[in-house]
Chains A and B, each alone.
Chain A
Amino acid sequence: MSAMSHDHPHEHPGPGPGDDDDGGEPGGLDRLSRRALFKLAGAGAAAAGLAACSSRPAREILPYAGQPPEVTPGIPLHYATALVEDGFATGLLVASREGRPVKVEGNPDHPASLGATRAIDQAAVLSLFDPQRARAVTERGVPAAWPAIERMLADATARGGAGLHLVLEPTSSPLVIELVGRLRAALPAAGVTFWSPFTPRSSIAGNRLALGRPLQTQLDFRAADVIVALDADLVGDHPMASAYARQIADRRRVVDGGSAMNRLYAIEAGYTPTGVMADHRMRVRGSQIARIAAELLAELQRGGVPAPAAAGRFAQLTAPPDRARWIAAIARDLARVPGRSVVAAGERQPPAVHATVAAINALLGNAGRTVGYTAPVVFEAGGPSHDLANLVRAIDRHEGDGGGVTTLLILGGNPVYTAPADLAVADAISRVDRSLYLGLYDNETARACRFMVPGLHELEQWGAARAYDGTITPLQPLIEPLFGGRGVADVLHQLLGDPPASPRDRLVQAWPRAVPGADLEAALVRGAVANTALPGVTAALAWDTLAPALAAAAVMPAEPAQADGGATLELDIRPHPFVHDGRYTNNPWLLELPEPTTKLTWDNAAQLSPATAARLGVGDGDVIALTIPGTGGAASRTLAIPAILVPGHADGAITLQTGFGRDGGEDIARGIGGNAFRLWTTTAGFHPAARAVALGEHRALAIAQVEASTGDRPIVLSGTLHALGGEAFRDELAGHRGAQPSLYPAFEARGPQWAMSIDLTTCNGCSACVMACAAENNTPVVGKRQVQNRRQMHWLRIDRYIGRYPGGTTGAGIDAASDATAVVQPMLCQHCERAPCEYVCPVEATSHSPDGLNEMTYNRCIGTRFCSNNCPYKVRRFNWFDYKDHRSLRVLGKNPDVTVRDRGVMEKCTYCVQRIRRTEIDARVADRPIGPEEVQTACQQACPTRAITFGSLTDPQAPVVEHRHRPHSYAVLHDQGTVPRTQYLARIRNPNPALDGTADGAAGDRHGGHG
Chain B
Amino acid sequence: MSAPAAIAHDTDDVLVGRPSDTELSDQLLSTTWRPMTRAWKIGFAICGLLTLNLLVMVTLTVLRGIGLWGNNIPVAWGFGIINFVWWIGIGHAGTFISAILLLLEQRWRTSINRFTEGMTLFAVMQAGLFPLLHLGRPWFAYWLFPYPSVMDTWPQVRSALPWDAAAVTTYFSVSVMFWYLGLVPDLAALRDRAPSRTRRIIYGIFALGWRGSVRQWRHYHVAYLLLAGLATPLVLSVHSIVSLDFASTILPGWHSTIFPPFFVAGAILSGFAMVLILILPARRVFGLYNVITPRHLDAAAKMLLITSWIVAYSYIAELFTAWYSGDRYEVYQQIVNRPFGWYAWAYWLMLFCNCVATQVFWSRRMRRSPVVLFAVSVLVSIGMWFERFEIIVVSLSRDFLPSSWYIFIPTWVDLGILAGTLGFFGLLFLAFLRVVPFVPVTELKQMRAEMVHEEVRR
Contact = CB atoms under 8 A, between A and B. Distances in A.
Q: Do A and B come together as binding partners?
A: yes
Nearest to B245: A866
Contact of A904 (B77, B137, B251, B403): B137
A862 B140 contact: yes
B155 A842 contact: yes
A268 to B, nearest CB: 24
A799 B144 contact: no
A973 B401 CA distance: 9
Interface string B130-173: 00001111101101100000000111101111100100000000
B400 interface: yes
Nearest to B72: A790
Interface in B53-95: 64-67, 70-74, 76-77
Given A863-B136, A872-B250, A880-B67, A707 B405 contact: yes
Interface residues of A, number: 56
Contacts of A879: 65, 136
Given A706-B406, A839-B158, A976 B250 contact: yes
A482 interface: no
B406 A863 contact: no
A784 to B, nearest CB: 14
Contacts of A932: none
Interface string B114-138: 0000000000000000000011111
Contacts of B396: 869
B406 A790 contact: yes
Contacts of A797: 403
A888 to B, nearest CB: 19
B248 interface: yes
A842 B144 contact: yes
Contacts of A880: 65-67, 71
Contacts of B332: 711
B135 A863 contact: yes
A786 B66 CA distance: 13
B403 A799 contact: yes
B237 to A, nearest CB: 18
A752 B160 CA distance: 32
Contact of A791 (B73, B141, B328, B403): B73
B405 to A, nearest CB: 4
A192 B48 CA distance: 75
Contacts of B249: 836, 840, 869-870
A789 interface: yes
Contact of A709 (B70, B77, B402): B402
A825 B404 CA distance: 13
B77 A865 contact: yes
B136 A903 contact: yes
Nearest to A904: B136
A712 B405 CA distance: 15
Interface residues on B, range: 35 or more
B390 interface: no
Interface in B348-372: none
A877 B143 CA distance: 21
A711 B136 contact: no
23 contacts: A706-B406, A707-B402, A709-B402, A789-B70, A789-B72, A790-B72, A827-B401, A836-B249, A839-B156, A840-B249, A842-B156, A842-B165, A843-B156, A862-B138, A862-B143, A863-B137, A870-B250, A870-B251, A874-B399, A876-B73, A881-B65, A902-B137, A903-B65
A840 B160 contact: yes
Contacts of A973: 400-401
A contact patch SS:
loop
Contacts of B65: 879-882, 903-904
Given A839-B158, A840-B159, A904-B137, A799 B71 contact: no
Interface in A828-876: 836, 839-844, 860-866, 868-870, 872-874, 876
Contacts of B73: 790-791, 868, 874, 876-878
A820 to B, nearest CB: 15
A861 B156 contact: no
Interface in A262-309: none
Interface in B396-418: 396, 398-406
Contacts of A904: 65-66, 135-137
Looking at B72, B76, B143, B396, which has the most chain A CB atoms within 10 Å of its CB?
B76
B161 A866 contact: yes
Contacts of B161: 840, 842, 864, 866
Contacts of B404: 705, 873-874
A881 B64 contact: yes
B48 to A, nearest CB: 31
B168 to A, nearest CB: 13
Nearest to B402: A707
Contacts of A869: 74, 76-77, 249, 251, 254, 396
Looking at B249, B399, B401, which has the most chain A CB atoms within 10 Å of its CB?
B401
Contacts of B136: 861-865, 878-879, 903-906
Contact of B403 (A789, A801, A863, A870): A801
7 closest cross-chain pairs (CB), A and B = A863-B136, A904-B136, A880-B67, A842-B161, A799-B403, A865-B76, A874-B404
Nearest to B163: A842
Contact of A844 (B74, B134, B153): B153
Contacts of B158: 839-840
A106 to B, nearest CB: 28
Contacts of B402: 707-711, 713, 715, 801, 1011
A794 to B, nearest CB: 11
Contacts of B141: 862
Contacts of B143: 842-843, 860, 862
B156 A844 contact: yes
B250 A881 contact: no
Nearest to A902: B137
Given A705-B403, A879-B136, A860 B250 contact: no
A864 B134 contact: yes
A862 B137 contact: yes
Looking at A791, A827, A866, which has the most chain B CB atoms within 10 Å of its CB?
A866
Contact of A713 (B140, B153, B400): B400
A797 B406 CA distance: 15
Interface string A874-913: 1011111110000000000000000000111110000000
Contacts of B77: 865, 869
A707 B77 CA distance: 21
A799 B134 CA distance: 29
Given A842-B161, A843-B155, A862-B135, A872 B399 contact: yes
Looking at A707, A865, A902, A972, which has the most chain B CB atoms within 10 Å of its CB?
A865
Contacts of B67: 786, 791, 880-881
Contacts of B160: 840, 842
A836 B248 CA distance: 10
B403 A860 contact: no
Contacts of A844: 153-156
Looking at B144, B250, B329, which has the most chain A CB atoms within 10 Å of its CB?
B250
Contacts of B250: 836, 870, 872, 976
B162 A842 contact: yes
B248 to A, nearest CB: 7
Nearest to A903: B65
Given A790-B72, A844-B155, A865-B77, 7 more contacts: A708-B402, A786-B67, A841-B156, A842-B159, A843-B153, A869-B77, A973-B400
B82 to A, nearest CB: 13
A1011 B405 CA distance: 12
Nearest to A791: B72
Contacts of A836: 249-250
Interface string A447-458: 000000000000
Nearest to B140: A862
A1009 to B, nearest CB: 12
A191 B6 CA distance: 108
A825 B398 CA distance: 19
Nearest to A868: B76
A879 B73 CA distance: 11
